[in-house]
């Protein structure tokens, strides 16, 4: 048996990063199998891993307020399961069932995200970790296989979700997505002309998804019709991206927002920022994500600074992020 020192000397270290996401069209209906359009953003989460030579899983994640976290291999997935480690730990447990290993791993994470803004750090950490882990053990997966590994963990942890955020973290760019990655089409767009405004209110996605589920139980016909109408918008938006028709994209965003309001997921704060951006000349705007707070997006008419000022004056915080970012990638590996 190798000594601990020998193991550390020969250790293989893999580092992978994955981007966050911004939902553009089709939130909520995508949970029920309809398509959506999502873009990856330039906020990345990086995961480093190496074998630690012990029968234990250890993690250091300062951005997630987790220090010297440790679990024996047989306790993987058992409580306590702090928020910051849940996705990684469950994925690791599932991975080991399929690919048993003798030694545990040490994981560190580095986060460019600000948690509050809802850009999908959970999906990014899950995807970056899965990519690093499979690379460490020389397992080559297609994007779809990587998706399935990550989606299984996310559903085990949070019970709901369409997986659009995982797809954005894996494929990157701007994609037309049908759950669960049954269809993923790259839209090959340039950097999008978007202004992103944060309401200052943190929303909890699973809670809002469950709220829509309960409305759908009570009023199935109404909600199905809303989802059908959103789907028509998503398909038109797919073509508008291909045609690079920014004005039409803005109009479609406003139409999508009307339907999200009917679903009851918009808020006074979101509506205020959306209205302010429209008054400042944006082509159209909508909430992005689950609603209940978080962010709105406005399609700019070319004069971004006017729209940014209007959002700022209306009490929002303008977030300067780049869209269409690359998907998961290996940053370094000494294998
Ligand atoms: C949340 O950002 C988007 C939702 O459609 C949920 C999901 O797709 O998992 C509301």
- CA–CA separation, 168 and 53 (whole Å): 34
For ligand 1, the distance from its centroid to the CA atom of residue 151, given in whole angstroms, is 13
Does the annotation mark 165 as catalytic?
Answer: yes
Q: What is the pLDDT of residues 211-236, one digit of tens each?
A: 999 999 999 999 999 999 999 999 99
What spacing in Å lies between the alpha carbon of 205 and ligand 1's midpoint? 7
Q: By alpha-carbon position, which residue is closest to atom 9 of ligand 1?
A: 161
Confidence label for 7 from pLDDT (cuts 50, 70 and 90): low
Residue 116 has pLDDT above 80, yes or no: no
Tokens standing for residue 100: 């048993």
Cβ(37) to ligand 1 under 6 A? no
For residue 87, which of 135, 42, 128, 141 has the smallest C-alpha distance?
128
Report which protein residue has its CA nearest ligand 1's atom 2: 289
**CA–CA dist 113, 323 (Å, integer):** 14
Instruction: Give the rounded percent of residues in the chain with a pLDDT score beyond 70.
Output: 96
| Residues 203/288, Cβ–Cβ less than 8 Å | no
- The reported pTM is 0.95
> How far does the centroid of ligand 1 lie from the alpha carbon of residue 89, in Å?
23
Q: What is the DSSP letter of 116?
A: G
Got the DSSP string for 22-60? EEEE-TTGGGGT--EEEEEEEEEEEEEEEE-SSSEEEEE
Tens of pLDDT, residue by residue over 105-115, are 999 999 887 76
Q: Is 289 a pocket residue for ligand 1 (Cβ < 6 Å)?
A: yes
């Amino acid at each position: 048996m190798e000594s601990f020192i020998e193991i550390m000397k020969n250790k293989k270290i893999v580092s992978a990063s994955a981007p966050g996401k911004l939902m553009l069209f089709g939130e909520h209906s995508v949970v029920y199998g309809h398509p959506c359009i999502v873009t990856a953003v330039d906020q990345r989460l990086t995961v480093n891993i190496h074998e630690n030579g012990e029968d234990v899983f250890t993690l250091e994640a300062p951005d997630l307020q987790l220090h010297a976290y440790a679990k024996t291999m047989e306790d993987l997935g058992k409580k306590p399961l702090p928020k910051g480690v849940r996705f990684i730990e469950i994925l690791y447990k599932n991975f080991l069932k399929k690919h048993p290993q003798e030694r545990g791993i040490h994981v560190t994470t580095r986060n460019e995200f600000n948690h509050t803004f809802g850009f999908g750090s959970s999906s990014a950490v899950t995807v970056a970790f899965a990519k690093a882990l499979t690379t460490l053990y020389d397992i080559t997966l297609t994007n779809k296989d990587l998706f399935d590994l990550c989606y299984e963990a996310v559903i085990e942890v949070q019970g709901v979700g369409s997986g659009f955020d995982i797809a954005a973290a894996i494929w990157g760019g701007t994609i037309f997505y049908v759950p669960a990655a049954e269809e993923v089409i790259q839209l090959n767009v340039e950097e999008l002309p978007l202004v992103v405004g944060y309401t200052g209110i943190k929303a909890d996605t699973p809670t809002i998804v469950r709220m829509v589920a309960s409305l759908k139980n009570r009023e199935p016909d109404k909600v199905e019709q809303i989802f059908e109408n959103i789907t028509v918008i998503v398909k038109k938006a797919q073509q508008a991206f291909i045609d690079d028709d920014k004005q039409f994209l803005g109009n479609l965003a406003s139409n999508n927002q009307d339907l999200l309001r009917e679903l009851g997921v918009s808020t006074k704060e979101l509506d205020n920022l959306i209205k302010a951006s429209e008054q400042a000349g944006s082509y159209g705007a909508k909430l992005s994500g689950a609603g209940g707070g978080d962010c709105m997006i406005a399609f700019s008419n070319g004069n971004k600074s006017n729209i940014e000022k209007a959002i700022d004056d209306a009490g929002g915080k303008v977030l300067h992020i780049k869209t269409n970012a690359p998907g998961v990638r290996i940053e370094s590996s000494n294998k």
